[in-house]
Structure 1
Amino acid sequence: MKNFTRYFFTAFVMLFSVVMMAQETIKGNVTDTQNLPLPGATVMVKGTKDIATTGIDGTFTLSTSATSGSVIISFLGHNQKTVAFTITPGTPLTLEPIMLTEDSEELDAVVIVGKGVIDMAQDRRTPVAVSNISRREIQEKSGNQEFPEVMKNTPGIYVASQAGGYGDSKMFVRGFDQTNTAFMLNGQPINGMEDGNMYWSNWSGMTDVANQVQVQRGLGSSKLAISSVGGTVNIVTKATDLRKGGFAQSMIGNDNYSRTTVGYNTGLMESGFGASAMLTKWSGDGYNRGTYGEGYNYFLSFGYKANDKHLFNFLVFGAPQQHDQNYTKSIANYLRYGRKYNNNYGFLDGDYISERVNYYHKPVANFNWDFTISDKMNLSTVAYASWGRGGGTGNYGSSANKKYTSDGHIDFGTIRTNNRALTDGIGTVANSYLIRNSVNNHSWYGVVSNFNHEISQNLSYNAGVDLRTYKGTHYREVSNFMGLNGFFVDDNVQYPDYTVTEQFSANPWSSFTNKPANTQKIDYDYDERISYLGVFGQVEYKTDEFSAFVQGAISNQSHVRWDRQQYSKEQEKSDKVNNTGYNIKGGASYTFAEQHTLFANAGFYSRQPYHDNIYLNFGNEVNNFTENEKITGLEAGYRFRSNYVDINLDGYMTRWKDRVTTNAMYNVLNTITGNEEQLFSNNSGVHQLHTGVELEVTAHPTSQLDIKGFASIGNWKYDDNVYTRVFDESRNIIPNSVYKTTATSTSFIQNETINEVKGRKVGGAAQTVFGLGASYKIVKGLSVDADWRMYDKLYSSTVTKDIVEIPSYDLVDAGLTYRLNFTNTSLVFRANVNNVFDEVYLSEITSSNVVTPTSVNYRGVNVTNNVFFGNGRTWNFSMRYNF
Structure 2
Amino acid sequence: MIKKSIAGIAFFMYVAMAVAIAQHTVTVTVVEAESRRPLPGASIHLHGTIYQGKSDAGGMVIIRNIKEGNYTITVSYLGYQTQQKHFTLTGNQQVDILLHRTTLLTDEVVVQATRATENTATTYKNISKADIAKSNVGQDIPFLLDQTPGVVISSDAGAGIGYTSMRIRGSDAQRTNVTVNGIPLNDAESLGSFFINLPDFASSVDNIQIQRGVGTSTNGAGAFGASLNIQTNTLNEEAYAELDQSIGSYRSLKNTIRLGTGLIDGNFSFDGRLSRISSDGYIDRATSNLQSFYLSGAWHGANSLLRANVFGGKEKTYQAWYGTPESRLTGDVAAMEAYAADDGLTTEETENLLNSDRRYNKYLYDNETDNYQQTHYQLLFSSAIADRLTLNTALHYTRGKGYYEQFRNQDEYIDYGLSPIVVNGQAITETDLVRQRWLDNHFYGMTYSFVYKNTDGLELTWGGAYNRYEGGHYGDIVWSEYPLFTAGGYPLHTDGGFGTAYRYYNGDATKADLNTYLKASYRLDKFSLFADVQYRRIDYAITGIDHDLRDLTQDALFNFFNPKVGITYQLSAASNLYASYAVANKEPVRSDFTDWPIEQTPKPEQLHDIEAGYRVRSQHFNIGLNGYAMLYKNQLVLTGQLNDVGSTLRTNVDDSYRVGLEFDGRWAPNAWFAWGATVAYSRNKIKNFTEIVGDVENFLPTTNISFSPDWVVSNELSFKPWKPFELALLSKYVSRQYLDNTGNSDRSIDGFFINHVRVAYHTPLWKLKNVGVTLLVNNIFNEKYASSGYTWGYYLSETDRVDYNFYYPQATANFLLGLNVKF
TM-score range, shorter chain: 0.7 to 0.9
Q: Distance in 1 between matches of 2:728 and 2:310?
A: 34
Structure 1 residue 371 corresponds to structure 2 residue 347: no
Aligned to 1:221, which of 213, 216, 219?
A: 216
The CA deviation string for residues 530-579 of structure 1, in whole angstroms up to 9 with x for no partner, is 111111110000146210100111011112222157999xx989454322
Aligned to 1:141, which of 122, 135, 139?
A: 135
Structure 1 residue 520 corresponds to structure 2 residue 520: no
Per the alignment, residue 554 of structure 1 pairs with 535
What SS does the aligned partner of 1:381 have? strand
Residue 278 to residue 14, structure 1, CA distance change in 2 (3 Å):
same
Per the alignment, residue 204 of structure 1 pairs with 199
The CA deviation string for residues 711-730 of structure 1, in whole angstroms up to 9 with x for no partner, is 00010011232586xxxxxx
Q: Report 1:272-671 matches (<5 A).
A: 272-305=267-300, 307-326=301-320, 327-334=322-329, 335=331, 336=354, 337-346=356-365, 353-355=366-368, 357-396=369-408, 398-399=410-411, 423=423, 430-479=429-478, 481=479, 483-484=481-482, 486-490=483-487, 498-502=490-494, 520-522=502-504, 524-543=505-524, 545-563=526-544, 574=553, 576-613=555-592, 615=593, 617=595, 621=598, 623=600, 626-661=602-637
Residue segments in structure 2 that go unaligned for 5+ positions in a row: 31-40, 76-80, 332-353, 414-420
Aligned to 1:760, which of 703, 711, 727?
A: 703
Q: Distance in 2 between matches of 1:567 and 1:764?
A: 29
Per the alignment, residue 123 of structure 2 pairs with 129
Report if aligned partners of 2:168, 2:226 keep a CA contact under 8 Å in 1.
Answer: yes
The amino acid that maps onto 2:202 is: T
Q: Distance in 2 between matches of 1:113 and 1:23?
A: 33
The amino acid that maps onto 2:361 is: N
Structure 1 residue 62 corresponds to structure 2 residue 41: no
The amino acid that maps onto 1:865 is: N
- 1:92 deviation in Å? 8.0
Q: Distance in 2 between matches of 1:851 and 1:61?
A: 67
The amino acid that maps onto 1:388 is: G
Report if aligned partners of 1:191, 1:197 keep a CA contact under 8 Å in 2.
Answer: yes
Report if aligned partners of 1:599, 1:636 keep a CA contact under 8 Å in 2.
Answer: yes
What SS does the aligned partner of 1:700 have? strand
Q: Report 1:159-198 matches (<5 A).
A: 159-163=153-157, 166-198=161-193
Aligned to 2:247, which of 243, 252, 255?
A: 252
TM normalised by structure 2 equals 0.83
Q: Report 1:720-799 matches (<5 A).
A: 720-721=688-689, 749-750=694-695, 756-797=699-740
Per the alignment, residue 413 of structure 1 pairs with none
The CA deviation string for residues 643-698 of structure 1, in whole angstroms up to 9 with x for no partner, is 211110000000111133469999x9x9xxxxxx8533232336420000000111
Q: Distance in 1 between matches of 2:608 and 2:435?
A: 43
The amino acid that maps onto 2:683 is: N
Report if aligned partners of 2:640, 2:691 keep a CA contact under 8 Å in 1.
Answer: no
Residue 768 to residue 505, structure 1, CA distance change in 2 (3 Å):
farther
Q: Distance in 2 between matches of 1:181 and 1:158?
A: 13
Q: Distance in 2 between matches of 1:836 and 1:622?
A: 52
- How many correspondences in the alignment? 766
The amino acid that maps onto 2:587 is: Q
The CA deviation string for residues 764-821 of structure 1, in whole angstroms up to 9 with x for no partner, is 1422022211222222311111111111132214568787343222111111111231
What SS does the aligned partner of 2:688 have? coil
The amino acid that maps onto 2:813 is: R
Per the alignment, residue 38 of structure 2 pairs with none
Q: Distance in 2 between matches of 1:137 and 1:225?
A: 24
Per the alignment, residue 717 of structure 1 pairs with 685
The amino acid that maps onto 1:867 is: Y
The amino acid that maps onto 1:436 is: R
Q: Distance in 2 between matches of 1:444 and 1:198?
A: 14
Report if aligned partners of 1:365, 1:384 keep a CA contact under 8 Å in 2.
Answer: yes
The amino acid that maps onto 1:466 is: A
Residue 503 to residue 832, structure 1, CA distance change in 2 (3 Å):
farther
Q: Distance in 1 between matches of 2:547 and 2:251?
A: 46
Report if aligned partners of 1:665, 1:681 keep a CA contact under 8 Å in 2.
Answer: yes
The CA deviation string for residues 380-411 of structure 1, in whole angstroms up to 9 with x for no partner, is 0111110110122234463599xxxxxxxxxx
Q: Distance in 1 between matches of 2:528 and 2:489?
A: 69
- 1:876 deviation in Å? 0.5
Residue 391 to residue 800, structure 1, CA distance change in 2 (3 Å):
farther
What SS does the aligned partner of 1:262 have? strand
Q: Distance in 1 between matches of 2:610 and 2:720?
A: 40
Q: Distance in 2 between matches of 1:498 and 1:147?
A: 50
The amino acid that maps onto 1:535 is: T
Report if aligned partners of 1:312, 1:367 keep a CA contact under 8 Å in 2.
Answer: yes
Report if aligned partners of 2:691, 2:742 keep a CA contact under 8 Å in 1.
Answer: no
Q: Distance in 2 between matches of 1:426 and 1:684?
A: 48
Q: Distance in 2 between matches of 1:504 and 1:544?
A: 76
Aligned to 2:756, which of 813, 818, 825?
A: 813
Report if aligned partners of 2:756, 2:779 keep a CA contact under 8 Å in 1.
Answer: yes
The amino acid that maps onto 1:83 is: K
The amino acid that maps onto 1:218 is: G
Aligned to 2:770, which of 826, 837, 842?
A: 826
> RMSD across aligned C-alpha pairs, in angstroms?
4.3
What SS does the aligned partner of 1:865 have? strand
- 1:96 deviation in Å? 6.3
- 1:824 deviation in Å? 4.8
Q: Distance in 2 between matches of 1:574 and 1:219?
A: 32
Report if aligned partners of 2:292, 2:312 keep a CA contact under 8 Å in 1.
Answer: yes
Report if aligned partners of 2:105, 2:304 keep a CA contact under 8 Å in 1.
Answer: no
Residue 449 to residue 641, structure 1, CA distance change in 2 (3 Å):
same
- 1:445 deviation in Å? 0.2
Structure 1 residue 680 corresponds to structure 2 residue 648: yes
Structure 1 residue 804 corresponds to structure 2 residue 747: yes
The amino acid that maps onto 1:532 is: D
- 1:590 deviation in Å? 0.5
Report if aligned partners of 1:760, 1:803 keep a CA contact under 8 Å in 2.
Answer: no
Q: Report 1:796-875 matches (<5 A).
A: 796-797=739-740, 804-822=747-765, 823-847=767-791, 864-875=804-815
The amino acid that maps onto 2:198 is: W
Report if aligned partners of 1:720, 1:758 keep a CA contact under 8 Å in 2.
Answer: yes
- 1:64 deviation in Å? 7.1
What SS does the aligned partner of 1:471 have? strand
Per the alignment, residue 50 of structure 2 pairs with 53
Residue 865 to residue 610, structure 1, CA distance change in 2 (3 Å):
closer
Task: Calculate percent identity across the aligned residue pairs.
Answer: 18
Residue 565 to residue 159, structure 1, CA distance change in 2 (3 Å):
closer
Q: Say which is worse superposed, 387-396 or 285-294, in terms of deviation.
A: 387-396
Residue 572 to residue 781, structure 1, CA distance change in 2 (3 Å):
same
Residue 682 to residue 309, structure 1, CA distance change in 2 (3 Å):
same
Per the alignment, residue 85 of structure 2 pairs with 83
Q: Distance in 1 between matches of 2:641 and 2:690?
A: 18
Residue 701 to residue 240, structure 1, CA distance change in 2 (3 Å):
closer
